Amino acid sequence: MKELKIFSPATVANVSCGFDVLGFCLDTIGDEMIIRKTVEKGVRITKIVGADLPFETKKNVAGVAALAIMNAANPDFGVEIEIYKNIKPGSGVGSSSASASGAVWAINELLGKPYNKQELTAFGMKGEAIASGAEHADNVAPGIFGGFTLVKQLNPLKVVQLPTPSKMYATILHPQIEVKTSEARAILPKEVSLQKAIKQWANVGSFVSGLYDEDYELISDSLVDNIVEPHRSKLIPHFDAVKEAMLKAGALGAGISGSGPSIFSLCKGEENAKKVAEAVIEVYKDKSINYDVYVSKINTKGIKIINLK
Ligand code: HSE
């Protein structure tokens, strides 16, 4: 194999109760990337379409992640990377991590798959860190593993793959303003009260149990964030109105996708997810901000090959 074209999906991190630990993978939004073997060693970014991102390898998230895996494997070839961005940077659905995880996943295929998903997530995290100013794997892991994931710890990295209830869909509103993850992290309090922490870890536990048992009621009851959302929601125009509309239309829960501005909801069944999309459009259609709305089944496979040569 000399060349690989892949679909690297968008992802939703945090999932309300699980700041920096929970994430899930989408199916209908994602970037495409071509990763090609070269005789010349090293990593080069040769094409970027759809976003204004750096070509310099060490400043590009895909480049940094690619260097991490290439330096570890030290193969007798190099790679060049073409990135076709459909996920807008700063949208809150894992734009930088799609680039980072796509690069390492595809390079692993070209190397003959020496690394497992945990190791690939660790390489991907290196790229993600330069975009957000902090290492976290809650967007990279669902892209690599597919479905729902829980990042149990970062050092050493341990990702737990969680089950995906069969009727689970997501509806996402992307208001087209940019929220930088580093800035959305900087406004968070450094300490939280024990009372709030107790509620939050109870919700993470019951959410995970709900996924295992396909208990949609318990999942719905657990999708609460009383630590991060009160601070970050102020950065998102009409957040409260959108969340209220999503819940009123029957979503299991709604909250900020990653560091925003996208707002996600989880829904039982496609029909409900579409109804939630209509409700969101009602809120945003006469506002001055451009927006996209996506309905997606949860992608349990993660990154996919489009073609190879
Ligand atoms: N967990 C991260 C955050 C995801 O919310 O800051 C965004 O990259």
Query: For the chain, what are the domain ranges?
Result: 3-162+300-308, 168-297
Question: Per-residue confidence at 180, pLDDT binned at 50, 70, 90?
Answer: confident
Ligand 1 geometric centre to CA of 181 (Å): 6
Q: What number is the average pLDDT over the span 17-30?
A: 96
Question: pTM value?
Answer: 0.96
Residue 306 in 3-state DSSP? Answer: strand
Say if residues 174 and 90 touch (Cβ distance below 8 Å).
no
Nearest residue (by CA) to ligand 1, atom 1, is 20
Q: What number is the average pLDDT over the span 60-80?
A: 97
Number of residues that this document lists for the chain: 309
Question: Per-residue confidence at 97, pLDDT binned at 50, 70, 90?
Answer: very high
Choose the CATH number for 168-297 among 3.10.450.50, 3.40.640.10, 3.90.1300.10, 3.30.70.890. Answer: 3.30.70.890
Number of the ligand 1 atom closest to the C-alpha atom of 19: 1
Residue ranges around ligand 1 (CB below 6 Å)? 13-14, 19-20, 132, 136, 138-139, 181, 184-185, 258-259
Q: What is the pLDDT of residue 228?
A: 97
Residue 87 C-alpha from the chain's centroid: 10
A 10 A CB-CB count for 135 gives: 16
294 pLDDT above the threshold of 80:
yes
Ligand 1 geometric centre to CA of 49 (Å): 24
133 pLDDT above the threshold of 80:
no
103-130 pLDDT, tens digit each: 999 999 999 999 999 999 999 999 888 8
Question: Per-residue confidence at 10, pLDDT binned at 50, 70, 90?
Answer: very high
| CA-based nearest residue to 252, from 271, 241, 265 | 265
Strand ranges (DSSP E) for 59-157?
Answer: 78-84, 148-153
A 10 A CB-CB count for 267 gives: 26
Number of the ligand 1 atom closest to the C-alpha atom of 132: 8
DSSP one-letter string for 220-260: HHH---SSSHHHHGGGSTTHHHHHHHHHHTT-SEEEE-TTS
Q: What number is the average pLDDT over the span 288-298?
A: 96
Instruction: Show which residues are catalytic.
Output: 128, 181
Question: Per-residue confidence at 79, pLDDT binned at 50, 70, 90?
Answer: very high
Q: Give every CB contact of residue 288 below 8 A, 6+ residues apart in sequence.
A: none
Task: Write out the CATH class of domain 3-162+300-308.
Answer: alpha beta
- The letter for the amino acid at 99 is S
Tokens representing 18 are 């699980």
Best probe residue, ligand 1, of 17, 136, 204, 225 (max atoms within 8 Å of C-beta) = 136
Ligand 1 geometric centre to CA of 259 (Å): 5
Percentage, residues of the chain above pLDDT 90:
93
Ligand 1 geometric centre to CA of 245 (Å): 24
132 pLDDT above the threshold of 80:
no
- Half-sphere exposure in the Cβ direction for 300 (13 Å, CA): 8
Say if residues 309 and 274 touch (Cβ distance below 8 Å).
no
In DSSP terms, which residues pair with 51 in a beta bridge? none
A 10 A CB-CB count for 215 gives: 16
Peptide bond between residue 261 and the one before it cis (omega within 30 degrees of 0): yes
CA angle 129, 135, 136 (to 5 degrees): 115
Nearest residue (by CA) to ligand 1, atom 4, is 258
Question: Per-residue confidence at 290, pLDDT binned at 50, 70, 90?
Answer: very high
| CA-based nearest residue to 168, from 139, 140, 202, 142 | 142
